[in-house]
Amino acid sequence: MRFVDSLVSMLLTTFLGVMALSCAPDDPIDEVEESPRAAWTTPPPSVIEASSRVVAFADVHGDYEAARAVLQLAELIDGENQWIGGTTIAVQTGDQLDRGDGERAILDLFESLSEQAWQAGGGFYPLLGNHETMNVELDFRYVTTGGWAEFADIEYDPTDSTVMSYQESHRGRVAAFKPGGPYARMLAGHNLAMQVGDTVFVHGGILTTHAETGLAVINSEVQAWMRGEADAPNAWIHSDTAPVWTRDYSNDPDSSDCAELSATLSLLGASRMVVGHTVQNTANPACNDQVWLMDVGMAAHYGGSPAALEITEAGVNILNSEDR
């Protein structure tokens, strides 16, 4: 009886403690929700099963309204930025940053949707593009005036020589994106490349050498660097043939490019690849539908219109705003 009494007492104490925390007026969870959520989340797997509906879209480059427009086009959010995609799995193939003034709003929206989609039994996965890796490298050549201002309130260490080497109005962004910074840690919660069912998603392209290394290895090395735990993995972020930089499949691929693509897909056990990075007049397939080119320049910087890719049991379909 003494053991039972102790067990009941322990359970009652735990329950009351949880209730007290949930009712506390100064709940610290409310404060946590205002900072980058992915700073403490585990990155998603590199390979996951597909759902009955998979959606993809590409570069949004700091255009918050374009990002919302393509999400609504694909029936993933409502007018209040709430996830309505149910069990849909959606992948954004990178380049959320640069060329526009709405970058922080985009990053925060995408983090919110990642959580909402997961709770609904679906998934929303923003990937890393070359402009995300550039910002973590502190390559800010494509940042707008508004892009600097967006991150001006990020606190920084006045003894940090890297941050202090920039003018005062730029230091918040530097602190945000330098390896280990709050928004670099947010990005470290994302994959650089991902396979959903038989479809591979990446910003630039996966080549055979990347497939032989493995998507999980590439992702983990890039994520460790962004967290400030490792040196920059140059092969994955710098080279012209890096997954975030190559245009082999998106810039008028020839027969040798298509042969490379076919070999890569075979290594990965996949049927197709979806890429962004190179602006197209319209979303279109190449290499006998083995690669889908989805960067339609929808951001204001380019003046294009939103487009998304939908993969279902019925096949692959391009969603255009003029069709709705």
DSSP at 77 = B
In a domain, 116, yes or no: yes
pLDDT above 70 for 313: yes
In a domain, 180, yes or no: yes
Give the tokens for residue 99: 């060329």
Give the tokens for residue 264: 């890569």
In a domain, 260, yes or no: yes
Average pLDDT estimate for 69-91? 98
Give the tokens for residue 281: 């007049």
Residues in a beta bridge with 292: 274, 285
In a domain, 8, yes or no: no
Residue type, 32: V
- 238-262 pLDDT, tens digit each: 999 999 999 999 999 999 999 999 9
**How far apart, in whole angstroms, are the C-alpha atoms of residue 219 and residue 209?**
14
Q: Give pLDDT, residue 42.
A: 84
Locate all alpha helices (DSSP H) within 192-310, ordered by sequence.
208-213, 215-226, 234-237, 255-268
Give the tokens for residue 320: 């255009």
Q: With H, G, I as helix, E, B as strand and everything else as coil, classify residue 275.
A: strand
pLDDT confidence tier of residue 324, bands split at 50, 70 and 90: low
pLDDT confidence tier of residue 41, bands split at 50, 70 and 90: low
pLDDT confidence tier of residue 2, bands split at 50, 70 and 90: very low
**How far apart, in whole angstroms, are the C-alpha atoms of residue 321 and residue 119?**
28
pLDDT above 70 for 95: yes
In a domain, 296, yes or no: yes
pLDDT confidence tier of residue 321, bands split at 50, 70 and 90: confident
Q: From the candidates 131, 190, 203, 301, which is the catalytic residue?
A: 131
In a domain, 2, yes or no: no
Residues in a beta bridge with 196: 48, 199
Give the tokens for residue 251: 């810039």
User: At a CB cut-off of 8 Å and minimum separation 6, what does 284 contact?
Assistant: 292, 293, 318
Q: Can you give the CATH number for the domain in which 307 is found?
A: 3.60.21.10
Using an 8 Å Cβ cutoff, are 290 and 261 in contact?
yes
Give the tokens for residue 4: 């039972």
In a domain, 237, yes or no: yes
Domain that holds residue 86: 45-323
- 114-137 pLDDT, tens digit each: 999 999 999 999 999 999 999 999
Question: For the chain, what is the domain count?
Answer: 1
User: At a CB cut-off of 8 Å and minimum separation 6, what does 171 contact?
Assistant: 156, 163, 164
Q: Is residue 131 flagged as an active site residue?
A: yes
**How far apart, in whole angstroms, are the C-alpha atoms of residue 94 and residue 299?**
13
Taking every pair of Cα atoms in the chain, the longest distance, rounded to a whole number of angstroms, is 79
CA dihedral 39, 308, 71, 296 (to 10 degrees): 80
In a domain, 23, yes or no: no
**How far apart, in whole angstroms, are the C-alpha atoms of residue 119 and residue 122?**
7
